[in-house]
Chain A
């Protein structure tokens, strides 16, 4: 038996290994990112055609359209990310590793966050072009980061539950969307605040909600993941 005696180092190494593995496999297969991207672009295109927006209304509706797009595309990614592990039996391979199982959660969550942010970074400029509105502003990017963290924190936990069931494709959104209402609400309000150039004292409460939600659900996932992932 040849394992090292540095638990924290091994823990971080395991997280890094999962992130590296997910990104390396995705670079080769492109099955997860392409599905998320195509879906996200279709959603903003459909919104573009379906809603004849007055220029004045665009700023108002943009946060809603953006977060609906991220939420639905994110669900596809979360489902696929865990299904890849389950369908090929690799989840057992991860569970057999002699590290705290929360390392699996954090590894998968970081990968999911990377995929969501890549999709967001591609969608935002395309949205700007389609709707003729500049949304590449630092404040909005911060909201996208905080909202995505909250989304994947809960989503990774729930997708690891849903993946154990036969109806995982249906179950994940049913479980996820009610739980992420606070994230979506706060993200939409904060995004709207930045797009409408509202004073920071009106935006901070929403940012605080996002930060609190992120911290709480990461902590909850850290505690319960071991029980959730077991059969």
Chain B
């Protein structure tokens, strides 16, 4: 579903991604972990066609980036820590706007479905600026699933949410992922992603330094795995793209 080969991204003299290889199969939920500045957001922006790769090959849903970006975008839902919503429009108007941007037929029915999934039926006619951060983030997920995408990208969706809002978001994330979608999510919250993702990749110094499926964690918990990956143990060198477990 996602194939990335020797991806390089430079901003001027600064190289953020250094020949990154990455592959995600259909239905996988991959948590992309790593320290600040590792290049997680840059990587997700490239997958979302918001940024062009300097070198390397990127395919999403069988389409190449950046040459077939519009086809990729039609199959992609993106949620970032910013909700990408307009505060002066109501929840329903925001969804209607994005529905038109995506050329979704039978938009009214789709909006009703999504609002019900989000549990925002009673607030659908309220301006988004009156929403709490958690409600805005739920609506952001609604915006992202409105066109029924095959692939979902989440960039630190829990940022700024309180405990209850995080729990509700997790339920929504499970629901979204449970419908056969492929999900890639960046996060710093290991405890949370441990229960959500089926695979964990550690991005450090511009490459995937370590990778493991949840079922292979074995005696480790995710924090152990992450610490060992960052320390280069048992992968020894965080620059090597070697699965450690």
Contacts and interface: CB of A to CB of B under 8 A. Distances in A.
Nearest to A21: B97
Contact of A21 (B76, B80, B86, B102): B86
Contacts of B88: 24-26, 28-29
A24 B50 CA distance: 27
A3 B110 CA distance: 12
Contacts of A50: none
Nearest to A104: B101
Nearest to B106: A2
Nearest to A27: B88
Contacts of A25: 86, 88-89
Interface in B20-62: 45, 48-52
B80 A89 contact: yes
Interface in B132-157: 143, 147-150
Contacts, number: 100
A3 B103 contact: yes
Interface string B97-129: 110111111000010000000000000000100
Contacts of A202: none
B75 A4 contact: no
Interface stretch (B66-74, B211-219, B233-241): B66-74
B166 to A, nearest CB: 20
Nearest to B81: A89
A175 B228 CA distance: 51
A14 B84 contact: no
Contacts of A6: 103
B149 A1 contact: yes
A171 interface: no
A20 interface: yes
Given A14-B103, A25-B89, A92 B80 contact: yes
Nearest to A29: B88
Contacts of A16: 100
A96 B147 contact: no
B82 interface: yes
A205 to B, nearest CB: 41
A3 B101 CA distance: 10
Interface of B: 45, 48-52, 70-71, 73-76, 78, 80, 82-89, 93, 97-98, 100-105, 110, 127, 143, 147-150
Given A3-B74, A92-B50, A96-B49, 8 more contacts: A3-B147, A21-B97, A28-B88, A88-B82, A97-B101, A98-B74, A98-B102, A231-B45
